[in-house]
Amino acid sequence: MVVATFALAAEAHAQQNVAEPDEYRTDNYRAPVPATLAGVRVLTTAEAEAIWRAGKGAFIDVLPRAPKPQNLPSGTVWRDKPRLNIPGSIWLPDTGYGKLAAATEAYLRRGLERASGGNNAALLVIYCQESCWMSWNAAKRVLSYGYPNVAWYPEGTEGWEHANLPVAEAQPEPRTDEEGLSPR
């Protein structure tokens, strides 16, 4: 019992001390994240809520969309699982991976242009789920694109819902043919 308690305490402490890497995370995306991201403001749920209520930032959800399973039996109807996110967010799925294809990068840039209204100084709040490197990667990438006012909300929709804040069903921002529009 004492050993188990010590192991849990040590694990919790390690999660609080995750080092900020120099590069993007390219695997094991659902794992403890750093408490910081150089050049980016890290938000608590209360801070994210205040920005959202005041309408002072564009919220961007980067949670990947579940792929359609391969080899479904003929005639199987596939329905995407609904995504509930922070109301008013722009959902740019698959843009938080460590490496992006050129088409996905173009999709992200176009989504950022829409979210910011063409104003590079607009506040962009990037999120996904709690303990998810996708949002960390995306926030780092957005900063590298020359957007100086980037905030990262690491608690994501799980933290938002835990605080009993509203969520809304979302649809992904549409992709163009050049960005890899894929039929569903």
C-alpha to C-alpha distance for 168 and 149, rounded to whole angstroms: 25
Structural domain contains residue 11: no
The per-residue pLDDT for range 5-56, each reduced to its tens digit, is 333 333 333 346 899 999 999 999 999 999 999 999 999 999 999 999 999 9
Q: What is the pLDDT, as a whole number, of residue 16?
A: 66
Backbone angles phi and psi of 43, in degrees to 5: -105, 145
State the average pLDDT over residues 135-155. Answer: 98
27: in domain: no
Asked if the structure places residue 155 within a domain, the reply is yes
Task: Calculate what percentage of the chain has a pLDDT beyond 70.
Answer: 88
CATH code assigned at 45: 3.40.250.10
DSSP, res 51: H
Closest CA to 96 of 128, 59, 57, 144: 128
Q: What is the DSSP string of 118-140?
A: T-TTS-EEEE-STT-HHHHHHHH
Question: Is the pLDDT confidence value at 136 over 80?
Answer: yes
User: What is the model's pLDDT at position 5?
Assistant: 37
Question: Considering the domain boundaries, does residue 42 fall inside one?
Answer: yes
Read off the pLDDT of residues 51-106 as tens digits, 9 standing for 90 and up: 999 999 999 999 998 777 788 788 877 677 889 999 999 999 999 999 999 999 99
CA 5, CA 172: separation in Å to the nearest integer? 42
| Residue 150 domain-assigned (yes or no) | yes
What's the structural domain count of the chain?
A: 1
On whether residue 125 sits in a domain, the answer given is yes
Residue appearing with tokens 């209360």 = 46
Average pLDDT over all residues of the chain: 88
pLDDT reported for residue 38: 96
156 lies in which domain range?
33-66+80-176
